[in-house]
Amino acid sequence: MNLTYIIKKSRRRSISVTITKKCEVLVKAPYGINEEYVHKFLNSKHSWIVKHIESQQQQNEKVCSLGKFSASQIAEMKKQARKIIPERVDYYAKIAGITYKRIFIRLQKTRWGSCSNDGNLNFNCLLVMMPSEVLDSVVVHELIHRHHMNHSKAFYDEVISLFPEYKKWDKWLRVNGGIYQARVPDA
């Protein structure tokens, strides 16, 4: 496979490669990097690139067959999420003895959840369309950020102690979540 790629240079220190939703190979590299180094880097990542292009193509095909979410589907998701997510947050917060301020439910194209420094929790309404274990894994992840505002070993140890199947469902979300996000209509 002969690869064409887009190179985006910035003040970063390292080189990386990602596959866009349009199946383009995007190389992010520091200013001053030479073309030969970029080619060697891409050659070393060739099998990874091919695998991820094929995966993105399959995801795009699924999105085409399923279509974008309608306005009424999104409204129903938000309604369900406003009921279900606070219940799950309360359940795990009580078990872990964690407090939080407010819960916000939004339709987001790139995030599943977040936790602010002041204790607010944000969740993507798309989570209610997935297996309940996926929702629980995101809820636990964000709640534990109330103890650890990082992704350290201590953070993950606490996540797994509260939700032992976290790794399984986090992987499910990484593999399948993009299909849900790609079905969100453009604004």
Specify the residue for token string 């339709």: 107
pTM of the model: 0.76
In a domain, 187, yes or no: no
> What is the average pLDDT across 122-136?
97
Do 59 and 124 belong to one domain?
A: no
Model pLDDT, residue 1? 59
Mean pLDDT is lowest, of 10-24, 94-108, 121-135, for 10-24
The pLDDT score that the predictor gives to residue 182 is: 87
Q: Are 57 and 145 contained in the same domain?
A: no
In a domain, 136, yes or no: yes
Domain of residue 39 covers 5-66
The chain-wide mean pLDDT, for the chain, equals: 93
Q: For the chain, how many structural domains are there in total? A: 2
CA angle 13-21-62, nearest 5°? 145
Burial 99-111 (b: 16+ CB within 10 A, else e): ebeebebebbeee
The CA-based diameter of the chain, rounded to the nearest angstrom, is 56
